[in-house]
Amino acid sequence: MFSPRDCGRRICVSNPAPAHHFGSASRLLAALSAQGFARLAGATREARDAAGEDPAARLPATGLAYVERSLAAPGLWPRPPG
């Protein structure tokens, strides 16, 4: 189970620091989620723009960037049950 205290320990700051800065576990998770989605959006936008104006090139470039980002940070994605 996630807790701000455990998060503080894992990132080598004082245990209460995340709770002090974010106020609650849900606000900390919301901030982490927003940052993760912003990074994903940036990566897919860069890939799309680098592919040029052709929609047939932009779509696979965007999808590939999404998959590459997922593979680069597997801990950010939920694990399948079982």
Helix axes 25-50, 55-72, angle to 10 degrees: 140
Domain boundaries, the chain: 4-74
- 2-42 pLDDT, tens digit each: 777 888 888 888 878 888 888 888 888 888 888 888 999 99
Please give the pLDDT value at position 82.
67
Over the stretch 38-73, which tens digit does the pLDDT of each residue have?
999 999 999 999 999 999 999 999 999 999 998 888
